[in-house]
Structure 1
Amino acid sequence: MTKRSNATEGAFLLGDLLAHPEFKTQLLTGAEQGLLRPVAGAHAMETENPSSWVPRDWIMLTTGIRLRGRADAQRALVRDLSEGGMAALGYSTGVATKNVPPAMVEEGERLGFPIFSIPFEIPLRSVVTFVQRVVLAEDPEVVRRVMATQDYLLDVAGSADLGVGQQAPESLILTRLSSLLRLGVAILDVDGTPLFAEGFVEPKDLSKLLRRVPSTAPSEVSTSTGRLLVLPIRSGERTTGWLAVSLPRAGDAKPTTMVVAQSAARLLGLVTMSRESGPQRREILGAQLLAQALQESATGEDSLEAPRGQDDLEIRARDLGISFSEPAFALVIPGDRDVAPEPWRYVVRAFNETKAPYLVLKNRTEWIVLMQGNEDQVYDFATSLGRLVGIGRPVNGVRAFRRSVADARFALVRHRSDRAKSLVARFTSLPLAHWLIGTASGGDFEEMCERVLAPLTDQQLLLEAVIAYLAAEQDILRAANSLHLHPNSLRYRLSKVEERIGAPLRRPETVLSLYAALSARGYV
């Protein structure tokens, strides 16, 4: 129980929040007077100069993603909050760092500024919601202002007619948001392309900058056109886009800017959620199913057959059109950072036109697909995409999907190593040796590979000699030329390899063991 003075009687204090058992917080600094600090609100954010946004007596919550490995920036954040009269800093552990960085703790102790930790399993939004609920209940004027702002925005979404020729609710929301903030605003897709804009100048480097901001909290970024406040637009647990607000070039932004922008971002998330029906909803459910299949199968055996009876994953797959009446295959389509996003549109078009049942899990580095059909049909479809695709082995159940994904990725690795001309890499078309290596998995195989290569791990020249020798198909002259060595020098190194591994390289089993271990690690 926090001991109150007459000045703090009736106020919501930091000690009241930290005493809440559900959040499992731990106060690290500022214990002497920190518990008696009044709390007027809380924000989860990852921005520079947070005192420009967070009013006095508010708590800033952070995951530390922007601060990882930057001791000077960590200390500067604590100083900024302390000098700005903030109530405290809450740090979510287990996201960017295991614990609160020592530099932050040291600065907090020096300044007597309260810093507390929040376990990874506690969502920051739960803390924000709790604080806002308590504070709003104590301040009717704040309630009135917040409700007025939200009503002003909700009025647009509620009255918008989506008929032909009518303005989309997102556009109407932006118009009102821009008038409230008197700043340029835009709705961006997940890759940073503006979908709707109001007085917004698009920076050239926005897409790259968005890759470095968290998808669960507001962030401030510096761009070629100035500062931006970027807030995730979330539909459930997914980030479906971004709300960007252009900030003034000079002076601090108003603290209310963050509150109003967050209300708009939540409303835009609700608009998105209301639209996610039909094909969009099927796409979302399919992605969730594949993500769960990859996660759950990682904890058990990767069987190529479905288990007896139909579990929840199998039933959900059937409802989404994957009945496994014929085999299905995993396809992995890697992204290419050197290629503009335009080619992905052709991939989307191909998927929209195919009649084969499929589910897709998309992320920034690759698309992972489960497609049902015979192998030739799947291969023809992959070829039609016109870009690099890996195809795993056929499976008859969702829980085997992870194994097929691993196959597809292995086929892509071999495809690149072999410099194949085709754009499609099929696991089932691999040579027997590669197939055996790709099939082998688990701790025993890794342990055997480690044992085979152990005599060479600290001998870089000998390891390079073996790799070149096997890559050149055991041709001494070719291998020596690739290393810029005299053939006799290479022969000498290979003789030293034989001494260290205790077996002659002329034996097939010796070559196979080395090749398997090196191939599993992507050396050959």
Structure 2
Amino acid sequence: MWLESLLSRGELGLQACVDVGEHRSITGAQVVEIEDPGRWILPGCLALTTGVAFTNDVEAQTSFVRSLQRADASALGYALGNATDEPPPGLIVECRRVGMPLFTVPFEVSLRDVVTTILGETFGPMAVDRDQVIEMQDFLLASLDHREPQQELIRRLCELLGTPVAVVGTNGMVLTHAGDAAQLDLIAEVSRAFPGDVQRADRRFLVSEVQLPLGAPLKLVIALGSLTRAENLARSLSRFTCGLLKMIAMSRRLRTELERRMSARVCRALLDPSLPKGRKLRDEAACLGLTGEDAMTVLRISGLPAHHERGEEDKVEFSPSLTVHDFLDRLRIPYIAAPEGCIHFAIAQGKDIEKRIRELSPWRAFSRIAVGLSSPTSNFEALPHLATEAQLAHRHLDPRIGEGVSTAMFHGTNVADLLLAYVPSAVRHNLMDVLAPLDDKPDLIATLRAYLDNRRDVTATGAELYLHPNTVRYRLAKVETLIGRSLDETDLVVAIHVALRDRVATGLDGGSARRRVETRP
């Protein structure tokens, strides 16, 4: 029921004292004679009082109105001839200040008559056929069994009311809608208003807020249009629908959380070399979309958090707060992931995965995201080895890269990569010792790396480093003296090549030995 409709009832003789100039919906009525009525008033209800709780006490009058305003009461009715013959001035001033409509009830009219009129108008249409209302609620409840419960729920509510209905996010984006699509822009604008009845462009809308346990709230917007007595049914079904929307959100979040926990457990098991890759484990992977029918690639990812910060769960745009799951979801291929702190392992199934990652252009606007990729395989037993490959590829990504996404793929044809990936760390440690005498000689390490990259050509090495060939020969001779072996020995050259690649991957060079050609303007 609308406040304007109540005031227009001539038989009640109600007179407006404070008109706030907006439509106010009344969902019920209560008589309150206590100092703090907000504890007992429901949102949208009309408060009626004789004023005995605050007679001649301006401070008590102010507190009384503020309590009603905090409780979201729709209006205040003051009964004349009981405590005073006119509304107290303090009451009028505070009602104007907080925007609370105030009207008077004549002494000849009982407050019971006002309450009876409101309740009869508000609940009368539904009380006529209560079974029908229950049947409608069951009809809405059945949407939970649908594959897309939120979309089906809104469609059914639109079918029952015969008017456009929409669910809108806090940013004004229409998430789900049913009915006349021409009103979507208006609905998006209306959703930014406070919950309640909103008037826009000669149309009325009912805006209800859905508070979710986690994440930003949603708005349910119903276009009331020409609904008259069915408005009360719309309000009742709106409250019921808000409860179902909250249930759907909780169910979706719980299902997602369970799937991700299962994904992490299966991913860790598949990458663990000590665990057998039996049928049960493969069946669980298949339930998550990882069937092995297409090539699988192991990814090592850094630069993304494992979980959302509280309150950021429902952001839809690209943002630094998005998680590793949000990143992988945008590849649109089956995957499982095991988030661990700031560095994560994942197994993705599909073709051209590195290309898909590079095409995620919106991510380039944010901080460093590094992805190391293994070689592809269709063999589940090979996945632990591929994890080593992905880790090695990730280690070779330059830690000084700028903002954006950088990728590195393991190349099995490179002898150094194969040795670093598959030789035990204890054995690899002996290979690294060959460069120990050069740890404090960055110029010699830079010369040695350029010499091997240029197929041991002294002239080409000098050209790259902007050095005279004789200077290159002098430095190489000094390297041989410090190491104690000749660079003509093939096994020594292989060991140095592997050691140099490992130094880059582990960041031991620290950037001080970068070639001059890379630093020239």
Would you call these one fold, judging by a TM-score over 0.5?
A: no
Which of the pair has more CA radius of gyration?
Answer: 2
Instruction: Report the TM-score, using the length of structure 2 for normalisation.
Output: 0.39
